[in-house]
Amino acid sequence: MNLLISGAGIAGLATALELGGRGHAVTVVEHARHLRLTGTPIDIRGDAVQAAARMGLLTRIRAHRVDMSERTRFVDSEGEPVAPLPPAEFNDSADDVELLRADLVRILADALPDTVTVRFGDAVEALDDDGAGVGVRFASGRTGRYDVVIGADGQHSGVRGLVFGPEPEYTRHLGVYFALADFPGGTGPAGVIHNVPGRMAGLFRYGGKAVAVLQFRSPQTDHDDRDPDVQKKLLAEAFADQRSWRIPELLDAALADPDLYFTSASQIHLPAWHRGRVVLVGDAGYCPAYLSGRGTSLALTGAWRLAEELDGAGAAEPHHPESPQLPALTAAFARYEARHRPHVDAAQARAHLGRERILPPTWAAIAARDEALRTAAGKGA
């Protein structure tokens, strides 16, 4: 098949690796000019460990393992530890792996076969699915025709918007916003988290640099929270009255960072992840929100399951070797969804637990969280 993947994040690269490795011609388009390597450490858990092994990547992934939990602590206003971050609360087994997002992106990109072409600085602008194939017009002015188009372009997927409609129809805001920024010259203990009611400030050091993390509870705003100026205004307002611990300097760093990463904790809920010859994978189809700790795992396992089912669709139509017919593709997409949706549902349910752990809404809830973590750590000692 001749396949187009929109997005060169973890979901897009993993899908390209799986499908390209099965002999399909894959084009990946990414609107950014390069791979995005920023971000906090991510986790590969449960079935995703098996998926990474089947992709032939597990040895390389384990070689880049980090363990943030062993040195991450909740601290009080003076920076004194008050509770440990539970090391295995969200893990499925001891085989789970934590590593830097940049390392996983590089591992996936380096493993792409010659059947995959990645084109940066371009994006899908229009789609015309006539049942026999999909005509695509790109922002660059290029055009192309593909057997299948795969939207792997994240929570704010452009492909999803073109095919399934406006994002608000499928978004569930979890009442939290997240910001990540460089913290030049960051000193002191790395891996520390401080809470005030409904807010969190953290300082982490990994990948040779320090980063500031700020999170806060908030209803979804009426503004375009993808506008950088709006993002910084929301962040400044959320922490304006907070002088506890190192919040002022972390906030200043975030407001000064021209590459501030800012997003809402939101989930995508779709009744189906496919329509015609277009299918979604990763956050584009079923974002669980970062609070779940499962986004990367769902991206890897989704890529694996989708590739298996698409490959089977080609085999199911031997009298049409040049392109699987729509009924075979529809059946393949349905099988992918049936296999993968139970894992998505479970991950999305976990996000609420993550919110209560990281962002307790009151001083009493913060104290109760800390006491529960100290008690659990004492029992495990």
What are the pLDDT tens digits along the chain (381 aa)?
Answer: 999 999 999 999 999 999 999 999 999 999 999 998 877 788 999 999 999 999 999 999 999 988 665 568 999 999 999 998 765 444 555 688 989 899 999 999 999 999 999 999 999 999 999 999 999 999 999 999 999 999 999 999 999 999 999 999 999 999 999 999 999 876 666 689 999 999 999 998 876 788 999 999 999 887 666 788 999 999 999 999 999 999 999 999 999 999 898 988 999 999 999 999 999 999 999 999 988 889 999 999 999 999 999 988 865 454 455 567 999 999 999 999 999 999 999 999 988 888 888 999 999 999 999 999 988 877 654
Could you give the residue range(s) of every CATH 3.50.50.60 domain in the chain?
A: 2-77+94-169+267-356
Rounded Cα–Cα distance for residues 115 and 178 (Å): 37
CATH number 3.50.50.60 is the correct assignment for the domain at 2-77+94-169+267-356: yes
Closest-CA residue to 286 (of 212, 230, 348, 196): 348
CB contact at 8 A, 216 and 254: no
Q: Record the pTM.
A: 0.89
For residue 321, the model assigns a pLDDT of: 52
Q: Between helices 363-380 and 326-358, what is the axis angle to 10°?
A: 100
CB contact at 8 A, 12 and 158: no
Both structure tokens of 33: 């000019």
CB contact at 8 A, 251 and 239: yes
Could you give the residue range(s) of every CATH 3.30.9.30 domain in the chain?
A: 174-264+360-380
CATH number 3.40.47.40 is the correct assignment for the domain at 174-264+360-380: no
For residue 90, the model assigns a pLDDT of: 47
* Helix (DSSP H) and strand (DSSP E) numbers for the chain: 11, 18
Those residues with Cβ within 8 angstroms of residue 151's Cβ, 6 or more apart along the chain or in another chain: 6, 7, 157, 158, 159, 160, 163, 278, 279, 280, 281, 284, 285
Closest-CA residue to 212 (of 88, 40, 374): 40
